[in-house]
Amino acid sequence: MALDIRALRSSAPFWSVRYHEEQRETLAMRQDTLEPPRLSVDRGAMLTAVVDGGYGYCATSDLSSGGLQKALDRATRWAEATKGKSVVRFDPAKMA
């Protein structure tokens, strides 16, 4: 699945999106009878924003453009709220 991230906007100088997809097949026996296999798929994205050393994260299963933008907005708000409070020294040169 391809994510359309071209329209995403943030005031954070650095942000990223990580897509995750996991597929599972479950086999089970019940009273010595094999049950039909069950297939499941989980999809989602983790958005990260960094503002002056503050980090914000937000995960979402809504992979529409609107859902991704909403998650990025939330991650950006968290990054802005935590800037200057990180235990890790912020160095933008190391993020390039």
Q: Where are the alpha helices (DSSP H) in the chain?
A: 65-82
Query: What residues does each domain of the chain span?
Result: 14-84
How do the pLDDT tens digits run along the chain, 96 residues long? 677 888 999 999 999 999 999 999 999 999 999 999 999 999 999 999 999 889 999 999 999 999 999 999 999 999 999 988 877 776 667 765
80 touches 58 (CB < 8 A): no
The answer to whether 63 and 3 have CB atoms below 8 angstroms apart is yes
Q: Which residues touch 57 (CB under 8 Å, ≥6 apart)?
A: 46, 47, 48, 75, 78
pTM: 0.79
